[in-house]
Amino acid sequence: MKSFISVHGKVDLIIKRENGTEYKTIDNLVVSGGLNVCAERMLPTPSLSGPTHIAVGTDSTPPSSSQTALGNEIARASIVSYSRSANSLLLISVFGPGTAVGTLREAGLFNAAEAGTMIARVVFDGISKGYNDTLEIRWTLSFTS
């Protein structure tokens, strides 16, 4: 009997504006680098870090498993909250006023403040983040068999 593990990601974008809040939910692609990180983290002394940052950018190139970076990254934020429930992880980053301003079309999950390994990437219809807006990204990774 064979058993397979699947990693599925879902990204919630929450944009808080002066005149209200906008929500988007998008499925993501866990890229090859992300699968390598997942496997490495099973070792007693892993050499690769787990996810620590979420980045956003303006490129709309469709995700592919071989990608190692966003197409046009404009900002990266630390993960401010980690939680686990059974086989799912919830990671949250916040891009406050004055950061990541522009029309955003992509986001990535990384294991470093700069460069590092991209674990997952998502592309979405452009969302406009103004100077005074706050963007909260909630990234859920679920491990299923």
Token pair listed for 99: 């950061």
Contacts of 89 (CB under 8 A, 6+ apart): 82, 83, 140, 141, 142
pLDDT, one tens digit per residue, over 3-39 is: 788 898 999 999 999 999 999 999 999 999 998 898 8
How high is the pLDDT of residue 6?
87
Domain locations in the chain as residue ranges: 28-144
Give 116's pLDDT tier (boundaries 50, 70, 90): very high
Q: What does R_g of the chain's alpha carbons equal in angstroms?
A: 15
Q: Taking the complete model, does pTM exceed 0.75, yes or no?
A: yes
Handedness of CA 120, 34, 89, 51 (dihedral sign): negative
Contacts of 101 (CB under 8 A, 6+ apart): 129, 130, 131
Helices (H), the chain: 32-40
How high is the pLDDT of residue 5?
80
How high is the pLDDT of residue 51?
96
Helix, strand or coil, per DSSP, at residue 40: helix
pLDDT, one tens digit per residue, over 50-70 is: 999 999 999 999 999 999 999
In the predicted model, is pLDDT for residue 143 greater than 80? yes
The values of phi and psi at residue 40, to 5°, are -60, -40
- The residue among 92, 72, 67, 84 whose CA lies nearest residue 12 is 92
How high is the pLDDT of residue 73?
98
> What's the CA gap between 126 and 108, in Å, rounded?
15
